[in-house]
Each structure stands twice: as C-alpha cells, then as structure tokens.
Structure 1
Amino acid sequence: MRDILVVLIVFGSLPYIFKRPYIGVLMWVWISVMNPHTQAWGFATSFPFAAIIAGVTMVSLVFTRESKKLPLIPAIWVFIAFVFWMNVTTIFAIYPDLVYGQWNKVMKIMLMTFVTLMLIKTKQHIQLLVLIVVISLGYYGVKGGVFTIIGGGVDRVWGPEGTFIEGNNEIALALVMTIPLMHYLQMIFRSSWVRHGLTVAIVLCAIAALGSYSRGALLALAAMGAFLWLKSRQKFSLGFLMMMVVPPLLAFMPEQWTERMDTINNYEEDGSVQGRFNAWWMAFNLAKDRPFVGGGFEVATRELFSLYAPNVLDLPRAAHSIYFQALGEHGFVGLGLYLLLGFLTWRTGTWIVRNTKNLEEYKWAYSLATLIQVCLIGFATGGAFLSLLYFDVPYYLMAAMVATRMLVEKELKEKASSVIIEKGKGAQPQFGNLSPSQSQRIARDSG
C-alpha cells in the first residue's frame, strides 16, 4: 500500500511539474530529504523516483518561460567556487577509482541546489519549500517522539536506512534543525489547529532528538536555545517557557540517557570521542601534506590512517565533523570556501533582518531569516561532530535565504523608485515608514 501511495504521488505530480517547474523542486526536496520510499516494503524501495523527478524538472526548466536567472550574489559565487573546487579535488583524489560513487551523489545534490536557486522566486515558493522540509523531517520527529514516549526513552531513535540521516546522531541533528522551521510555520499559519499541531510536533521532535542519545544534538539544542533567547524581543517570556519545558523533558529520560550525556564531561575516557579526535588529526595531517586539494572523496582508509592518524591502531572512520571532512577531502582551500559560504549565508540573513525590521509587510521575511539563522547555529554546532558536509537540507535553507533576500531587495527597489525625498544636494529614496537614514542604508546595501 505504501509503495502504491508513493508511486501515485510522484507520477501524479509530473504533469504539474511540466506546467510549473518549481513543483519539481518541491518534489525533489521531499524525495531526497524524507526518502518516503524507504518507508515502503516492496518495489518502491529501489525505484528511481529521484531520477525521474529530476529529469522532468530539468526538461521543464529548459522550456519554461518563467525567469530562471541564477541570483549571483556573493554567497552564490562562493557556492559555485566550492562546487568547482570539489570537482578539482576529485581529479587529484588519492583514490580516483573509489570516488565516483560519492562524487556522483554529491554533484546531483549540488545540481538540484542550483535548480532550486533558479526556480524558487516568490514568497509562496519560499514558504512551500520550508513546509516541505518540515513535513519531510517532521514525520520522523513525530514518529520518533511517540516511540520514545511509549518506550520510556530506553531504546534509541534512528533515521531511515540508506540516507544521510540514518544514524542516531544524524537524525537528531536534522530534527533539531527542524524545530525553528516549525516555529516559523506557526507564525505564518492563521489556523489555531495548525498552530497547536505544530506545538505538539515541536515537543515530539525535541523528545525524539533526546531519544537518539546524541550528545551533539544536546549541544546543538543548547546553542540554538541560547541564540534564540538572545535574538528574542520577549526574553522573559521565552526564558520562562524554556524553564517550564526543558526540565520535564530531561527528567523524563531514563538513567542510562543521563549517564550517556555525562560522558561529555569525561571525554578523555570515552572511546567514541577519542576515535573522533583521531579522525580529526588524520584529516588535518593529510591536509598539511596536500594543503590545496586534500585527499578527495573517500579518504577513510586503513592506508591513510596508518600514514596520518596519531593512533594507527584505531579503526579507520569518517571525519565525524563537517569542518574536518571538508579539510581532509578538499584541503584548506575547500575548508575556506565552505566556511566563507556559511558566513555569507549568515550575512544574507543579517541583511534581511536589518532591512525588514520595522516593515510589517515583511514580517514573514524577518522571521524566516532569523529562524534559519537559528537552524544554522544548530547545524554549525552539531555538525562539528558529524560527517554531514553534503547533507542537502542546509543547502536548501541557503537557497531559501538567498531567494528571500532577492525578493525583498527587488520590492524595496521598486518602492524606492516611487517615493523620493530631498536631502542635501541629491535625492534619496524613502522606503515606507522607515527613516531617511534607514532608507539610505537600504539603497546602499541594495547597490
């Protein structure tokens, strides 16, 4: 039954994709993030749904008359450079015979990210993209939260097999990043039933993240909560809410969960943590030896660990860090581009927040930029302990952030052309109810 349902949804969407290519982006995000076929048991588990959707979307992209211009702001130029550099490091990979599978997988994600940037243009598109991400990950959060409650938190929560988020740590971080997006949907939906339902989903996602026994997810939750509190205009209310919700959630978890979290303070005695440190040093030493191109994809081998790891007897393992993964596979140049991409994505959000702060009609954009920044804080913290450099959700959030900035900037420029104020020797634009100084800043930032 599940197989048939997935088939009906995918093939039923194809005519709409031909007519409106952005629907193809939404379907791709649903298939690639949620991987609904993994929840089936029959032929759908191996059916190439993603390839079909991508192919139809690319065809419709070619023939559509809608604007498909890539938004070439600084963040996107760096993203282009990062993707280009991954291809360079693939050419110079230490194991050229082993890298094709991973290269193929990563390039598909990057290609569809470019397609997302080209097709997601309007407020409706952006909010639908966020909604699809929430549905895709929230399914596992609700399911995992119920599982944790029924089982008393004894058994761990795991993600769908064969995906980026199949591990307990990976699904936990994904769910942590979903919580701010759910809160955003609460702010834009008017239905009280939807808002209450999202509140339940948020709580269940938090419980599922705790039920994964992921220490990195706990740190990510703490970092996100602290940032959200600092950015909030209602610090007392938010702080009171956190004090009312967090202690009961922690108290619900069993003793073995508490013992697992306590190992954060005793990391010197934890074999898993020491193994991560060994993998980090291996990546760093490899990058020192090949500073520009690193080792390429697939560097977690016994041979490389025997050459570059401090503890050569430890089993080869993935980098377990987005930063050391970028460093080991793509060298210092790749790491620099990745960090710069994150910084410029953050600055894109800051531009939106600064220029929409006092504009009621752009409250949706202000809230979205702020909450995506909260997501990025969570990913930057939890990703320090996980090999999720190519996890697609952060790239889709980057696309949503860029699309929001482009839309806001375009509309503000249109308003600037219709309302002019005189100041000094020249005329300066006045935007809505903003002061002249704020209007001048928007004009300067918009170029």
Structure 2
Amino acid sequence: MRDIVVFLLVFGGLPYVLKRPVYGGLMWVWISVMNPHTQGWGYATTFPFAYIIALATFASLLKSHEKNSFPMTPISLTLVLFVIWMNLTTPFAMFPDGAWSQYAKVMKIMLMTFVMMMVVHKREDVQRLIWVLVISLGFYGVKGGIFTLRSGGNDRVWGPVGTFIGDNNALALALIMTIPLMYYLMHDLNKRWMRHAMLVAMALSGMAALGSYSRGGLLAIVAMLLFMWIKSRRKLAGGAVLVLLVPLALLFMPEQWGARMDTIGQYRADQSAMGRINAWHMAYNLARDRFMGGGFAIYEPLPFAMYAPDPTDVHAAHSIYFQALAEHGFVGLFIYLLLGWFTWRSAAVIVRRCRGHAELDWASRLAAMIQASLIGFAVGGAFLSLLYWDVPYYLMAAIIAARVHVTLHLGAEHRGARRPALPPRVVPNRQEI
C-alpha cells in the first residue's frame, strides 16, 4: 500500500512539474529529504523516482516561459566556487574509484541545488519549500517522538535506513533544524487547532531528538533554543516555556540516557569520542601534506597509517569542518566557511532591512528562524559527516529568494516615494477656445 501511495503521488504530480519547474524542484526536495520510498516494502524502495523527477524538471525548465535565471549572489557564486574546487580536487584523490563514485552523488545534489536557486524566487515558492522541508523531516520527528514516549526513552530513535539521516545522530540534527522552521510556519496558520498541532509536532520532534541519544544533538538543541529565545519578541513568555518544559523533557528520559550525556565532559574515556579526535588529527595532517586534500572517500586505513596519531583507529570524519579539510584541503574548508558566512550575513541583512515594514515581516521571521536552524547545524555538524547533506543548501536557496524579494520590494517602495507629484492638469475653458 505504501509503495502505491508513493507511485501515485510522484506520477500524479508530474503534470504539475511539466507546467512549472518549481514544482519539480519541490518534488525533488521531498524525495531527497524525506525518502518516502524507503518507508515502503516492495518495488518502490528501488524505483528511480529521483531520476524521473529530475528529467521532468529539466524538461519543464526548457519549455518554461518564466524567468528562471541563476541568481548572481555571494551565496550562489561561492557555492559555484566550492563545486569548481571539488572538480579540481577529485582528479588528485588518493582513492580514485571511490572518489569518482562519491563525486557523482555530490554533483547531483549540487546540480539540483542550483536548480532550486533558479526556480524558487516568489514568496509563495519560498513558503512551499519550507513546508516541504517541515513535512519531510517532521514526519520522522512526530513518529520518533511518539516512539520515545511509548518506550519511556529506553530505545533509540533512528532515521530511514540508507539515507543521510539514517544514523541516530544525523536524525537528531535534522529534527533540531526543523523545529525553528515549524515555529516560523506556525505564525502563518489561521486556525488555532493548526497552531496547537504545530506546537505538538515541535514538542514531539524535540523528544525524538532526545530519544536519539545523540550527544552532539543535545549541544545543538541547546544552541538552537538559546538563539531562538534571543530572537524571540516575547522573551519573558518564551523563557518561562523553556524553564517549564525543558526540565520535564530531561527528567522523562531514563537514567541510561543521562549517563550517556554525562560522557560529554569525559570524552577521553569514551572510545567513540577519541576515534573522532583521531580522525580530526588525520584530516589536519593530511591537509598540511596535500594542498588539494585527499579527495572523496578518503577514510581508508592507508591515510590513517600515514597521518593519524593512532593508525589503527579508522573513522569517518564525524565533522563537516574536518570532512571539508580532509577531502578538499584548507582551500576547500575556507570556501565552505565563507559560504556559511555569506548565508548568515544575508539572513542578518534581511532581518535588519525588514524592520518597520509590516508587509515584510514574513521574510524577517523566516531569516531569523533559518539562522536558528543553521546555528543547530553549525554546532551539531561539528560532530557529523554531513558536509553534502542537501537541506542546508536548500535553506540557502530560500535565503537568496527572500533577500531578492525584500530588495525588489524596498526598491519599488523607494522609487514610489521619490517620484515627484504631477502638476494638476489645467482644462481650458470652452468659451476661451
């Protein structure tokens, strides 16, 4: 039954994709982020939905009469530079076979990210993109939150197998990034029961993140909630809610959960933590030795034997920053950090320029909540190999579109204010004629 539902949704949506390419982009986001086919049991699990959606989207782009040009912004151009650098580092990869295989996957993600930057430019498109992200990830948040409550927090929450968020730590980070987006959408809901339902989804997503037993997720959720409170317009009420609900959620979790979180301060005695640190040392030493880095698929015994303090402890990067460093060298890490800085800066500019403009309140709230999501990603991502996870790049597309919208709106408003008033028209008297 689940397989049939996915087939009906995808093929039923293709006519809309051919009508407007933005619908193809949104369907791609749904397939790539939620991976609904992984929830099936049969033929849908291996069917090439993404390939078909991509073909339909490109066909729609070719026939579309809309202005779907690539935005020339600091964010988009820096991402292009990052992709160019990946194309330069891959031919010099230490393990060419694995590198080219991973390269193909990453380039697909980047290509569709560029497509999203081209087709998402209206406010309605931005709103739809956020809804797709919230539904795609919120599904696992609600499901995982209910599971955590039913199990009393004794069993870990995992994501869909074989995806970016299949790991418990990755799922926790994804849900933490989704909560601010839910908060943004909640304010635009007209019905009280809808707002209450969104609050419940936020609470369940938070419980699912705790139920993942992710230590990095705990640090990320603290950073995200603190930033949301700072950006809140009702700090007293928001602080009271946090003071009441956070301790209750933590007290609900069993003793074994608390024991795992306590190891954050005792990382030297934790084998997993020390393995990550060993991988970070390897990444730094490799980047010092190889200007281009090691390329994709670098986490093999040989690089650890050459560059790691403990050559026998082979781990993945477990950090977006050290992953960029190991795979693409110091230049790649610099470009990636620059990309994050431009995204943050653009969001801050949106918030600042929207002050005093009630009609742009949506853009200000969206930018602030995307900042909260990125704070969670920056903190939680320090412990996870999610450099190529597509959700942060889709949020960049939303920021680009929102800033363009704000700039055009304020520019039109400014031109209207400066336009001189026309002198009154003098109608000649017929007798004078």
Fold-level match, TM-score > 0.5? yes
Q: Match of 1:313?
A: 312
Q: Match of 2:295?
A: 296
CA distance in 2, matches of 1:170, 1:289: 30
Q: Over alpha carbons, which structure has the higher Rg?
A: 2
State percent identity of aligned pairs: 57
Q: Match of 1:150?
A: 150
Instruction: Report the alpha carbon displacement of residue 5 of structure 1 after superposing the two structures with TM.
Output: 0.5
Q: Match of 2:287?
A: 287
Instruction: Report the alpha carbon displacement of residue 226 of structure 1 after superposing the two structures with TM.
Output: 1.4
Q: Match of 1:164?
A: 164
Q: Match of 1:262?
A: 262
Query: Any conservation in 1 of the 2:180–2:228 contact (CA below 8 Å)?
Result: no
CA distance in 2, matches of 1:355, 1:201: 31
Describe the superposition over 1:36-83 as per-residue Cα deviations: whole angstroms up to 9, x where unpaired.
Answer: 000000000000000100110011111111011111111111111001
CA distance in 1, matches of 2:224, 2:98: 37
Q: Match of 1:409?
A: 407
Residues 331-346 of structure 1: pairs in structure 2 closer than 5 A: 331-346=329-344
2:345 to 344, 347, 355: 347
Q: Give the secondary-structure state (helix, strand or coil) at the position aligned to 1:66.
A: coil
Describe the superposition over 1:308-344 as per-residue Cα deviations: whole angstroms up to 9, x where unpaired.
Answer: 1101121x21100000000000000100000000000
1:6 aligns with 2:2: no
Instruction: Report the alpha carbon displacement of residue 410 of structure 1 after superposing the two structures with TM.
Output: 1.1
Instruction: Report the alpha carbon displacement of residue 232 of structure 1 after superposing the two structures with TM.
Output: 2.1
Q: Match of 1:374?
A: 372
Q: Match of 1:427?
A: none
Q: Match of 1:322?
A: 320
Describe the superposition over 1:366-389 as per-residue Cα deviations: whole angstroms up to 9, x where unpaired.
Answer: 000000000000000000000000
Q: Match of 1:425?
A: none
Q: Match of 1:118?
A: 118
Describe the superposition over 1:172-218 as per-residue Cα deviations: whole angstroms up to 9, x where unpaired.
Answer: 00000000000011011112121111001000000000000000010
Describe the superposition over 1:94-123 as per-residue Cα deviations: whole angstroms up to 9, x where unpaired.
Answer: 111221221111111100000000000111
Moved over 6 A (4+): none
CA distance in 1, matches of 2:104, 2:187: 38
Structure 1 unaligned residues grouped into runs of 5+:
423-447
Aligned residues: 420
Residues 37-48 of structure 1: pairs in structure 2 closer than 5 A: 37-48=37-48
Q: Give the secondary-structure state (helix, strand or coil) at the position aligned to 1:419.
A: helix
CA distance in 2, matches of 1:47, 1:284: 40
Letter in 1 for 2:257: W
Instruction: Report the alpha carbon displacement of residue 421 of structure 1 after superposing the two structures with TM.
Output: 8.5
Q: Match of 1:445?
A: none
Describe the superposition over 1:139-195 as per-residue Cα deviations: whole angstroms up to 9, x where unpaired.
Answer: 000000000100110010000001000000000000000000000110111121211
Q: Match of 2:218?
A: 218
Letter in 1 for 2:332: G
Query: Any conservation in 1 of the 2:224–2:373 contact (CA below 8 Å)?
Result: yes
Q: Match of 1:253?
A: 253
CA distance in 2, matches of 1:230, 1:37: 39
Q: Match of 1:61?
A: 61
CA distance in 2, matches of 1:202, 1:188: 15
Q: Match of 1:76?
A: 76
CA distance in 2, matches of 1:100, 1:62: 29
CA distance in 2, matches of 1:229, 1:146: 26
Instruction: Report the alpha carbon displacement of residue 233 of structure 1 after superposing the two structures with TM.
Output: 2.5
Letter in 1 for 2:105: K
Letter in 1 for 2:310: N
Letter in 2 for 1:312: P
CA distance in 2, matches of 1:229, 1:201: 19
Instruction: Report the alpha carbon displacement of residue 287 of structure 1 after superposing the two structures with TM.
Output: 0.3
Letter in 2 for 1:357: R
Instruction: Report the alpha carbon displacement of residue 230 of structure 1 after superposing the two structures with TM.
Output: 1.8
Q: Match of 2:428?
A: none
Q: Match of 2:423?
A: none
Q: Give the secondary-structure state (helix, strand or coil) at the position aligned to 1:317.
A: coil
Query: Any conservation in 1 of the 2:99–2:296 contact (CA below 8 Å)?
Result: yes
CA distance in 2, matches of 1:50, 1:207: 31
Letter in 2 for 1:2: R
CA distance in 1, matches of 2:119, 2:144: 33
Q: Match of 2:183?
A: 183
Q: Give the secondary-structure state (helix, strand or coil) at the position aligned to 1:188.
A: coil
CA distance in 1, matches of 2:70, 2:404: 11
